[in-house]
Amino acid sequence: MEKAENVYRVTVMTDMHLMPGDYEDGFESVDKLVGASRPDFVVFNGDNFFGFNGEDLAFYDRLDAYFIEKGIKWTAILGNHDGEYNSADRRSIAEHIANLPGTVFELNPIGKRYGNFFYDTPVAGTALAFLDSGGKATLSERIRSGFSSKYAALTKEQIAFYLNEAHGKRAVFLFIHIPLNEFENGYYLALANCKVIYGAVRENITPEGKLNRFGDIVCSPAVNTGFFDAAAKEGNLKAVFAGHDHLNDFAVDYKGVRLVQVQRSFSSKLASYGFKKRGFTDFSGATVLDVTENGFDVKQLFLKDLSKDL
C-alpha cells in the first residue's frame, strides 16, 4: 500500500473477537496488516481479545511489545463485548491497557465509560479522539426504542467532554465501537444519491441474497443522545470510525462528516460470525486513515490481497 511522505497514517482494526485458539492466527493477521499499511498509529476499535485465564490480557502485552519494537503508537477502545468474555471486567481491562508502556491509552473514566481521551497527531491542529460507547442500553432506553436496539449510547457527560476537548482543533477523527444512529441514514442517503465512497451494508442480506426485513442493518444505540448534531455543529469533526457490525464496511459523507464502518479484521474459525460464515466474499482487513496538512483520505485494505510473506 502506497504511503506519501507527508502522511500521518492510522490503521484501524476492529471486532477481531479473538478466542484463545485464535491468538496465533490473529497475531499473524495484525502483523500482515501492519506490514502492508506501515502505519504511524494503530487502533483496535473494540470487541478485541477474549479469554478467561489471562490469555486476553497477555495478548495486549504481546501487542504492546510488538508495537514498541516497531516504533508504532497504538491504542484500543472498548466494545460492547469487551468485559463480557474476558478474565477481567471493562474497567480492569482498561486499567491493564493504560499501564502498558507502549500505548497512548488514557483511562479517564466518565461514569462507567473507560478510555475517553484525545491524542494530538504531528499534523498541526489535528487530533484523534477516543470514546467508550459502552455496552447494553438500559431497560428504559430499550422501551423508548420500541425494542429495536439493545445498545448503549454516548452519555451526556461524554458529549460534554468531547466538545470541550475538540474546541479549537482544526480536524478531529473520532473512534467509537458502536456506530452512531446517523450511520444508517447517512448510508442510505448516499446510496440513493450514488455517493457511497466504498463498501456496503450487508447485515440484513441473507447468504441466499434475500433481504431480511426484520434483521439489523446498522446496530446503533437504542436512543440518540445528540452527539452527532452537537459535534458536527463545531465544524471540525472530519470522520467517525465505528466497528460492531462485522459485515458492514462502508464510507459515506453525511452533513460534512465522513462516517466509516471499519473493516472487520479477522475471521475466527472458532467463534462469532463474519464474511465467510455468512456466505460473502471475505473482506476482512483494516481501514486506513491518512491525515495530511490539507485533508484526509480513508481506504480499505483486505487480507485476501496480501501475500503470505508481507
Binding site for Fe ion (CB under 5 A): 47, 79-80, 244
C-alpha cell at 205: 442480506
- Nearest distance from C-beta of residue 69 to Fe ion, angstroms: 29
- Nearest distance from C-beta of residue 151 to Fe ion, angstroms: 8
Q: Are 46 and 177 in contact (CB under 8 A)?
A: yes
- Nearest distance from C-beta of residue 219 to Fe ion, angstroms: 7
Q: Using alpha carbons, select from 128, 149, 113 the residue that is nearest to residue 224.
A: 149
- Nearest distance from C-beta of residue 55 to Fe ion, angstroms: 20
Q: Using alpha carbons, select from 238, 303, 242 the residue that is nearest to residue 275.
A: 303
Which one, 244 or 264, has the nearer CB to Fe ion? 244
Which one, 249 or 290, has the nearer CB to Fe ion? 249
Residue 281: exposure state from Cβ atoms within 10 A (0-12, 13-18, ≥19)? exposed
Which one, 75 or 80, has the nearer CB to Fe ion? 80
What is the Cα–Cα distance from 135 to 80, expressed in whole angstroms? 4
Which one, 255 or 278, has the nearer CB to Fe ion? 278
Q: Are 31 and 301 in contact (CB under 8 A)?
A: no
- CA atoms within 13 Å, Cβ hemisphere of 40: 17
- Nearest distance from C-beta of residue 82 to Fe ion, angstroms: 9
The alpha helices in the chain, defined as continuous H runs, are 23-37, 55-70, 90-98, 139-144, 156-166, 182-192, 227-234
Which one, 238 or 244, has the nearer CB to Fe ion? 244
What is the Cα–Cα distance from 258 to 1, expressed in whole angstroms? 22
Which one, 80 or 268, has the nearer CB to Fe ion? 80
Q: Which residue sits closest to Fe ion, CB atoms considered? A: 244
Which one, 8 or 151, has the nearer CB to Fe ion? 151
Q: Which residue is it, cell 495478548?
A: 59
State the Cα torsion 239-220-201-166 to the nearest 10°: 0
- Nearest distance from C-beta of residue 47 to Fe ion, angstroms: 4
- Nearest distance from C-beta of residue 84 to Fe ion, angstroms: 10
What is the Cα–Cα distance from 73 to 120, expressed in whole angstroms? 12
- Nearest distance from C-beta of residue 297 to Fe ion, angstroms: 26
What is the Cα–Cα distance from 118 to 127, expressed in whole angstroms? 6
Q: Are 293 and 124 in contact (CB under 8 A)?
A: yes
Which one, 222 or 291, has the nearer CB to Fe ion? 222
